[in-house]
Amino acid sequence: MKPRHKRFALIGAGLATLAVAAGLVLAAFQKNLVFFFTPTQIANKEAPQGRSFRIGGLVEGGSVKRQQDGVTVRFIVTDTAKSVPVEFRGSLPDLFREGRGVVAQGKLGADGTFRADEVLAKHDEKYMPPEAKAAVDQAQKAAKTVIQ
C-alpha cells in the first residue's frame, strides 16, 4: 500500500468505527436509561424490585396527608395514567407542592407503597410571572402535560 492509500484506509476505518458507535448510542436510547422511573413503568414492573430506586411524577392534587407523628408524610405520585402511594419521613423541599413535579428515592414495599428516603422537587422549564401562569393554567386546564 502506498502511504496515501494507507492514510485513507485509516481515516476510513476511524469514520466507520465512529458510525457504529453512533448506532450503539441510538440503540441505547431506545431502551430506558433513566434517572427516575414513572408510575406507569412501575405498574408495568419495569422498575427495580427489592432495591433502592427513584420515582418521578406529579404530586396528585389533595393527596398530601401528614400523619399523627408529625414527621411522616403520605402522598400519591402520578403521571396522569398510573399512580403510586408514597410514604416519607423527613423535611420536604420548599417547592414541594400538590400538582408539581417530584422525584423520590426509596424502595417499593410489598404492599405497593413506595417508602422514600429522600424527596426532591422537580420543576419544568417554564418561567413566567404568577399572573401569566394563572392565565395559562386556565387555558390548558384539561391537558396537563406529563413531565419528561
Q: Does 95 bind other proteins (CB under 8 A)?
A: yes
In sequence order, which ranges of 31-78 are alpha helices (DSSP H)?
Answer: 39-43
Which among 118, 66, 109, 53 is positioned nearest to 85, based on CA atoms? 109
Which among 121, 51, 131, 39 is positioned nearest to 86, based on CA atoms? 39
For other proteins, the closer of residues 74 and 97 by Cβ is 97
CA distances from 16 to 5, 52, 112 (A): 16, 40, 48
Q: Does 70 bind other proteins (CB under 8 A)?
A: no
Q: Does 110 bind other proteins (CB under 8 A)?
A: no
Q: Which stretch binds other proteins (CB under 8 A): 44-52, 64-72, 77-85?
A: 44-52
The SS3 assignment for 11 reads helix
Using CB under 8 A, list all residues that contact other proteins: 1, 3, 6-7, 10-11, 14-15, 17-18, 20-22, 24-25, 27-29, 31-36, 46-53, 56, 92-96, 100, 103, 105, 117-130, 132-134, 148
